[in-house]
Amino acid sequence: MAKPDVLALDPSRGGPAISWPGLGLYNYEPVAGFEQEVVRLQAEDGGWSQGILYSSGREKTVVCFMHPRADFTSHYCLPAMTEHGLAVFGQRTRWSNNDTACIHEIALADVAASVRLLRARGFERIILVGNSGGGSLYTFYQAQAATPPPGRLTHTAAGDPYDLNELDMPEVDGLVLLAAHPGEGKYLMSVIDPSVTDEYDPLSCDASLDMYNPENGYRPAPEESSYSDEFVARFRAGQRARVHRLDAIARQKIADKRAYEALEAAPDFASRPLDERLQISRRAASSTFLPVYRTDANPAFCDLSLEQPSTRSVGSLLGVDCARENYKIGGFGANLTPEAWLSTWSGLSSHGSVLDNLRSVTTPLLIVFYTGDCAIFHDGVEQMVKATASTDTEVVRLAGNHFGLTADGSTEPRDEAALKIIDWIGTRFALA
């Protein structure tokens, strides 16, 4: 969900608009006296990731930032945290800036590599700050780390073997969810367009399920739309049905490939004619991507009477004109391997559900919620509070949008969020 490094002024909204691929989440510097060390990390499965450690060499508490695909190596909380004597580690996964093949279960090995490194460096307290999609990654990690072997997952969502019981996954000391949605799959299921009738035709449309059809209550921004309860109920059911359909397509693609892999591994493979062997091998090696069109469709983007209380304005994470953004190429989960769809973006199959994983999280938990967020809503935060097993849970509500900005472009909510996190760490752990 997070992208960005570029802020543009959108005159129709009177404030900053999101321009891919930036948003001012990055490019922040620590205060003087903190060294920036680029760290290459090799996970236990052999995969490589990279991060930046900001430390003066005296800190015993380190705060970590990470996202499945976005670059959080210099997050907007960095200046305040270093100013208050906290070390910071910002890490990229092995799928940085490209989640076409991102497998959440495997990304946990990258998180584990950083936690082991930081423990080895002498940090006594490790706090994970999961911002936006980083919330699902970090919650997933802590849930699996807190599960003693052999109770951890042994397969990816696609059914491929990946045994987390074989990984050294140290637990962390605290978890912060900063503008974090209930999981990338759960988020996508709330914004996927159910009016798509053909997964290979981006213009296919069932008008009765089209939230951008004026007959269903749509009005162009800056006007508000107005959808009936009956339409919203059908829309939500249609979203779930479309995710189920995409799951079935993904699983069929995987099954077809595995069938040819089995033929290639069969004892009689060598005795087959050459042409036949070549066809089997090609089909066993190849696969096709799963295109996912139109993923900027949530009635709450346009009808502000939905998902209350909220101080948001009309629009989505991609822009004010959702009806147009919905048809642009390159939305969330736009082009994926079937395995990546199931692991990361499927709201029905992904293991990265924050709500599910919070049931195994007992560490102190802080939830920071921006009241003007157009992607995470009040009810979702309440569901997180109810789901967690932690007996030490605090919720902080701040004015601002999903990216910690006000309508006039002020970054004050970001500064306030950083200070709230720092205060929470100081109260429960220690800043030094």
CA Rg value for the chain: 22
**Which residue bears the tokens 């930046």?**
52
Is 146 a member of any domain? yes
Residue 295 domain-assigned (yes or no):
yes
Residue 282 and residue 178 share a domain? no
Residue 291 bridge partners (DSSP): 335
Question: How many other CB atoms sit within 10 Å of the CB of residue 9?
Answer: 10
Same domain for 91 and 203? no
Q: What global pTM score does this model have?
A: 0.93
**Whether 214 and 288 share a structural domain:** yes
Is 166 found in the same domain as 55?
yes
* Residue 316 covered by a domain: no
Domain of 170 in residue numbering reads as 6-183+350-428
208 is a domain residue? yes
Does residue 343 form part of some domain? no
32 and 136 belong to one structural domain: yes
Looking at the domain assignment, is residue 320 inside a domain? no
201 and 80 assigned to the same domain: no
Interatomic CA distance for residues 216 and 224, integer angstroms:
13
Give Cβ neighbours of residue 141 (< 8 Å, ≥ 6 apart): 108, 111, 112, 128, 169
Whether 332 and 354 map to the same domain: the answer is no
What does the pLDDT profile of the chain (432 residues) look like in tens digits?
333 332 232 323 333 333 333 345 667 999 999 999 999 999 999 999 999 999 999 999 999 999 999 899 999 999 999 999 999 999 999 999 888 999 999 999 999 999 999 999 999 999 999 999 999 999 999 999 999 999 999 999 999 999 999 999 999 999 999 999 999 999 999 999 999 999 999 999 999 999 999 999 999 999 999 999 999 999 999 999 999 999 999 999 999 999 999 999 999 999 999 999 999 999 999 989 999 999 999 999 999 999 999 999 999 999 999 999 999 998 999 999 999 999 999 999 999 999 999 999 999 999 999 999 999 999 999 999 999 999 999 999 999 999 999 999 899 999 999 999 999 999 999 776
Is the same domain home to 177 and 215?
A: no
Give the CATH number, domain containing residue 71: 3.40.50.1820
Cα–Cα distance list, 127 to 61, 118, 138, 195, 421 (Å): 8, 11, 10, 42, 10
Tell whether 345 is covered by a domain.
no
Q: Are residues 59 and 106 in the same domain?
A: yes
Number of domains within the chain: 2
Is residue 188 included in any domain, yes or no? no
pLDDT of residue 25: 62
